[in-house]
Amino acid sequence: MTHSNVPKLITVFGGSGFVGRHVVRALAQRGYNVRVAVRRPDLAGFLQPLGNVGQIVAVQANLRNRASVVRAVRGSDHVINLVGILFETGPNRFDTVQDLGARTVAEACRDADIKLTHMSAIGADSQGDSDYARTKGLAEEAVRYTVPDATIIRPSIIFGPEDGFFNKFAEMSRFSMFLPLIGGGQTQFQPVYVNDVAEAVARSVDGSIESGKSWELGGPEVLTFRECLELMLSVIARKRTLVTIPWFAAKWLGSLLSAIPLIEPALTRDQVILLQDDNVVSEDAQTEHRTLAGMGIEATTLEAILPSYLVRFRPAGQFTRGMMA
């Protein structure tokens, strides 16, 4: 619960997304009133049961529209920006959403003197080769300059019921005897559970962690891309051949898939570039305790969670027994 007799109002941009719905629930459980700022409030009704009647309200806002952002933050005690994209579609470009959008939110918070928590990502780098990493890095710099005491959260790859990583490859394994190992599958990840990320964000609102810092969130295990796929296949009880795709071929394939209109690309060239660098908590963050452990959060293991939502990909679902298919 909040420390005041009157529940604080928290505005969450991107609150209807994968991470957002878990953040909204964590805030509601603490007794906060939550204003979810989304492009389509009519599609965010599923969030309301996460809190009491009237506790969670969706409002219309678009990071490309400054006036809507200013309206959305008005009267808030704290603002959380979770908005990010993994690939570009139509007007949703990395520069406009992840860089300029983050600047707009930060400037609205500065002008209204509102605290800010900003979701970034491990690997964010304003000089990076990947457009995703570059715009995430530019956003971090803009947020830190505009709201110096903002809290920046930088997770590794996030897993959970609606994730776009383990679910994607598990779905692929239902129809294909082969799964791709981009660049040989040696890139390292430190998968972090979505509820742990949500708890970290909620603690930034509580004030129980130090503001003005960048926190790097990773789970208890560091796994290669290959090891992640092998673990996923073990959980869903399927045998599949892992086929190495060289970097140059993966970039070509990503460019080809991105050019197909009206579908979500299974892979983009920018994602391939991103995969060339490991995605793990830095030594500096560990030394300075800017981690989940430094927040007092015990990281959840993959083995404890993956079976709970990947079971549907087993050959006979929860009734699967015996040999792998």
What pLDDT, on a 0 to 100 scale, did the predictor assign at position 1? Answer: 46
Nearest to 11 by CA among 58, 64, 62: 58
pLDDT at 316: 76
pLDDT at 29: 96
pLDDT for position 276: 96
Give every residue of the chain whose pLDDT is below 70, as ranges.
1-6, 262, 318-325
Residue 29 to residues 20, 57, 144, 199, 252, Cα–Cα distance (Å):
14, 15, 29, 11, 46
pLDDT of residue 321: 63
Structure letter (DSSP) for residue 31: T
**For residue 92, what pLDDT is reported?**
87
Q: Where are the domains of the chain?
A: 9-159+191-220+280-300
Task: Report d(CA 188, CA 201) in Å as an integer.
Answer: 24
Side-chain half-sphere CA neighbours of 235 within 13 A? 23
Q: 84: closest CA among 120, 116, 108, 117? A: 120
First to last CA, the chain: 48
> DSSP state, 30?
T
pTM across the whole model? 0.94
DSSP 242-276: EEEE-HHHHHHHHHHHHTSTTS--S--HHHHHHHT
Q: What kind of fold does domain 9-159+191-220+280-300 have according to CATH?
A: Rossmann fold (3.40.50)
Three state DSSP letters for 144-209 = HHHCCCCEEEEECCEECCCCCCHHHHHHHHHHCCEEEEECCCCCEECCEEHHHHHHHHHHHHHCCC
* DSSP summary character for residue 280: -
